[in-house]
């Protein structure tokens, strides 16, 4: 049966392929009683599930990509160790024999008992290991229930596959970078969630906020994913399929044409140079950065070195990652944002998730609360600065006290390196992210104290309009063109210009070609975005004349009638 689902298109393009279902949700297990004569068969079924899970983990370990964090292998080893422990591999069998219950129920009961024991441990790190136990048990449960939800063991599909999930975290997306999916769709998520941002960085058509796709779509259903219009068509008929194959071909032709702009000088028609930088998460993104012809890295999200693992990366491990990126850029700037965990990016070793994590202990607040963790990262970044044009970017600054404490921590890290005789750039530029209204309103102060500013528009919009960027129920209220948002951006750009300090935008607005002329009209000259968006933005820059942008930009800035916003933006874009 053919039907359509409508959600939020978070990454453009069209993909056609077969559904591959996965789930990260806790599993509801059945409970039923067995006759005595079936007990041995149930025990054998349980043993087979353990063996299948072991094989799955071992194959995953053999497919770890070369650029993955070194601890990923240790992480899988730990899960294998838990799987082999008698508390998981044997204790449920005793329950099956004693109570004559089914294997799923016995295993779920044993998991709850183990979790309760972990809860009694005082040490926070050891207590957090209960999550590993839960993850291992869930793998076994999925094997028992006949619908494995793990990533495919064979990473080279013979046909195009589309990932269908209830929800994906940024950590999941990092792993998915090593498995080729043509697209993904999820029930939850919003256009500015970090998962959506990662999808755009991979140039992967994606639709989120479909609400019940995971329940309605079956494995191997044929899907069309239209990432621009936010539509998913399930089991389309031949005429619809033919129409979308035509659209897909045209999209690929347009994408190929953009590649010709790679070597063109990035400047407006009146000759004003515009810097186009790239946002990255991992060293593996460098190829895309070079393919797009970026002027450098405007945002290296270092927190992705801390995800998908059960412990903290060491100073040497971080240093190796930062150094590799700095050397790969061959003299071009590399802006490393210090740890920005919290909100929708949680590490298993981190603090307890707050009731409202977006307003809780995240980003620079977390780093200042964990001086040991921050010191280690600062030393690693500083050491990497000896190998290229490295810059430090501080996330989510809001107060002068935070800035003073941060600069003091950087001075302490520098002093420790001098004491150890390790080289670093003494004049390493230090910048701050303008992501909250308080920082934007105080931009003149921050511009005076720092070497550069970078506007994180995703969070700036979230905090200015009180819109949870991960909540699709309020996604329609998320408005980059709200006059308050535009005023804060313009105020920050002007403060930087007055202080003689460069200002960049590294949020999603920078990568939206529909907003390129608007940002140029507001005075922006440095954009940083996902590499996949860079050539589209460059195309807009090449067609723009700054003098012609000023009047329509000011009209849009002063507009208070939402009904006129689209028309004003279209006029600014010349359409």
Residue range 227-244, pLDDT digits in tens: 988 999 999 999 999 999
The yes-or-no verdict on residue 310 having pLDDT over 50 is yes
Percentage, residues of the chain above pLDDT 70? 86
For tokens 């979230």, what's the residue? 462
Predicted local distance difference test score (pLDDT) of residue 153? 41
CA of residue 186 relative to chain centroid, distance: 15
Structure tokens at 122: 């005082």
pTM above 0.75, yes or no: no
Calculate the dihedral angle through the C-alpha atoms of 201, 206, 210, 215, rounding to the nearest 10 degrees. Answer: -110
Alpha helices in 466-561 (DSSP H): 483-499, 516-521, 531-542, 546-558
Q: What DSSP character marks residue 329?
A: T
What is the C-alpha to C-alpha distance for residues 319 and 385, in angstroms, rounded to an integer?
A: 10
**How much is the mean pLDDT over the chain?**
86
Predicted local distance difference test score (pLDDT) of residue 309? 67
pLDDT range class, residue 344, cuts 50, 70, 90: low
Predicted local distance difference test score (pLDDT) of residue 202? 75
pLDDT range class, residue 117, cuts 50, 70, 90: confident
pLDDT range class, residue 320, cuts 50, 70, 90: very high
Predicted local distance difference test score (pLDDT) of residue 66? 61
Predicted local distance difference test score (pLDDT) of residue 340? 87
Weakest mean pLDDT among 68-72, 181-185, 303-307, 425-429: 68-72
Weakest mean pLDDT among 82-96, 163-177, 378-392, 511-525: 163-177
Predicted local distance difference test score (pLDDT) of residue 26? 55
pLDDT range class, residue 32, cuts 50, 70, 90: confident
Structure tokens at 75: 């992480």
What is the C-alpha to C-alpha distance for residues 528 and 277, in angstroms, rounded to an integer?
A: 4
pLDDT range class, residue 206, cuts 50, 70, 90: very high
Predicted local distance difference test score (pLDDT) of residue 282? 80
Higher pLDDT, residue 4 or 148: 4
The yes-or-no verdict on residue 245 having pLDDT over 70 is yes
Q: Which residues does 373 contact at the CB level (< 8 Å), separation at least 6?
A: 312, 339, 367
What is the C-alpha to C-alpha distance for residues 535 and 540, in angstroms, rounded to an integer?
A: 9
The yes-or-no verdict on residue 215 having pLDDT over 80 is yes
The yes-or-no verdict on residue 174 having pLDDT over 60 is no
Q: What are phi and psi of 509, to 5 degrees?
A: -60, -35
Predicted local distance difference test score (pLDDT) of residue 470? 65
Q: Which residues does 215 contact at the CB level (< 8 Å), separation at least 6?
A: none
Q: How far is CA 100 from CA 45, 94, 138, in A?
A: 14, 9, 21
- Contact by Cβ (8 Å): 432, 454: yes
The yes-or-no verdict on residue 165 having pLDDT over 80 is yes
Q: What is the pLDDT of residues 327-342, one digit of tens each?
A: 999 999 999 999 987 6
Catalytic residues: 194, 506
pLDDT range class, residue 148, cuts 50, 70, 90: low
Q: Which residues does 475 contact at the CB level (< 8 Å), separation at least 6?
A: 8, 190, 191, 209, 467
Predicted local distance difference test score (pLDDT) of residue 73? 66
Q: What is the pLDDT of residues 4-29, one digit of tens each?
A: 999 988 888 899 999 988 755 556 67
The yes-or-no verdict on residue 551 having pLDDT over 70 is yes
pLDDT range class, residue 90, cuts 50, 70, 90: very high
Q: Can you name the residues that pair with 4 across neighbouring β-strands?
A: 233
Predicted local distance difference test score (pLDDT) of residue 154? 44
Q: What is the pLDDT of residues 36-58, one digit of tens each?
A: 888 999 999 999 999 988 888 88
Q: 284-303 burial, b if ≥16 CB within 10 A, otherwise e?
A: ebbebbbebbbbbbbbbbbb
pLDDT range class, residue 552, cuts 50, 70, 90: very high
Q: What is the pLDDT of residues 282-291, one digit of tens each?
A: 887 898 899 9
Predicted local distance difference test score (pLDDT) of residue 177? 60
Predicted local distance difference test score (pLDDT) of residue 314? 93
pLDDT range class, residue 188, cuts 50, 70, 90: confident
H/E element, 298: strand 297-301
Predicted local distance difference test score (pLDDT) of residue 149? 46
pLDDT range class, residue 129, cuts 50, 70, 90: low
CA neighbours within 13 Å on the CB side: how many for 157? 17
- Would strands 231-234 and 222-226 be described as parallel, antiparallel, or unpaired? antiparallel
The yes-or-no verdict on residue 64 having pLDDT over 80 is no
Pick from 126-135, 197-206, 255-264, 491-500 the range whose average pLDDT is largest. 491-500
- Contact by Cβ (8 Å): 512, 533: yes
10 Å Cβ neighbour count for 243? 12
Quick one: which of 10, 20, 354 has its CA closest to 155?
20
């Amino acid at each position: 049966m053919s039907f359509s689902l409508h959600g939020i298109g978070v990454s453009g393009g069209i993909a056609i392929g077969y559904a591959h279902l996965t789930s990260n949700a806790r599993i509801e297990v059945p409970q039923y009683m067995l006759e005595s004569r079936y007990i041995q068969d149930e025990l054998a079924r349980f043993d087979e599930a353990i063996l299948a899970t072991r094989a799955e983990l071992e194959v995953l370990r053999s497919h770890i990509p070369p650029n993955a964090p070194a601890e990923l292998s240790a992480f899988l080893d730990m899960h294998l160790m838990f799987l082999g422990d008698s508390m998981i591999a044997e204790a449920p069998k005793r329950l099956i024999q004693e109570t004559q219950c089914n294997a799923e129920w016995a295993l779920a009961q044993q998991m709850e008992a183990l979790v309760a024991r972990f809860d009694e441990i005082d040490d926070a790190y050891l207590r957090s290991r209960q999550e590993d136990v839960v993850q291992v048990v869930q793998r076994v449960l999925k094997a028992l229930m006949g619908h494995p939800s793990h990533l495919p063991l064979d990473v080279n599909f013979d046909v195009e596959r589309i990932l269908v999930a209830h929800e994906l975290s940024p950590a999941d997306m990092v792993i998915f970078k090593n498995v080729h999916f043509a697209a993904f769709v999820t029930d939850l998520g919003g256009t500015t969630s970090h998962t959506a941002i990662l999808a755009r960085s991979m140039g992967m058509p994606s639709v989120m906020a479909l609400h019940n796709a995971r329940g309605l779509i079956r494995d191997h259903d044929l899907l069309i994913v239209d990432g621009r219009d936010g539509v998913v068509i399930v089991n389309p008929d031949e005429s619809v399929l033919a129409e979308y194959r035509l659209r897909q071909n045209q999209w690929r032709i347009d994408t190929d044409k953009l590649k010709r702009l790679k070597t063109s000088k990035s400047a407006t028609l009146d000759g004003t140079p515009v810097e186009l930088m790239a946002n990255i998460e991992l060293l593996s993104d460098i190829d895309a950065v070079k393919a797009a012809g970026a002027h450098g890295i405007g945002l290296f999200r270092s927190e992705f070195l801390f995800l998908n693992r059960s412990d903290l990366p060491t100073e040497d491990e971080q240093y190796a990652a930062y150094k590799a990126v700095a050397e790969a850029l061959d003299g071009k700037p590399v802006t490393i944002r210090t740890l920005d965990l919290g909100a929708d990016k949680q590490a298993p070793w981190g603090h307890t998730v707050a009731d409202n994590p977006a307003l809780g202990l995240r980003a620079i607040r977390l780093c200042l609360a964990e001086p040991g963790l921050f010191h280690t990262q600062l030393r690693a970044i500083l050491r990497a600065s000896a190998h290229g044009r490295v810059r430090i970017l501080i996330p989510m600054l809001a107060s002068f006290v935070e800035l003073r404490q941060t600069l003091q921590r950087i001075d302490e890290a520098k002093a420790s390196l001098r004491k150890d005789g390790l080289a670093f750039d003494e004049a390493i530029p230090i910048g701050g992210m303008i992501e909250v209204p308080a920082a934007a309103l105080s931009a003149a102060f921050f511009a005076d104290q720092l070497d550069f500013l970078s506007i994180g528009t995703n969070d700036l919009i979230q905090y200015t309009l009180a819109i949870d960027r991960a909540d699709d129920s309020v996604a329609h209220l998320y408005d980059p063109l709200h006059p308050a948002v535009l005023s804060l951006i313009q105020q920050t750009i002007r403060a930087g210009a007055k202080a003689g300090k460069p200002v960049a935008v590294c949020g999603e607005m920078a990568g939206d070609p529909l907003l390129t002329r608007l940002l140029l009209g507001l005075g922006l000259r440095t954009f940083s975005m996902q590499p996949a968006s860079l050539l589209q933005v460059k195309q807009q820059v090449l067609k723009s004349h700054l003098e012609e942008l000023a009047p329509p930009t000011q009209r849009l800035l002063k507009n208070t009638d939402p009904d006129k916003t689209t028309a004003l933006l279209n006029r600014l874009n010349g359409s």
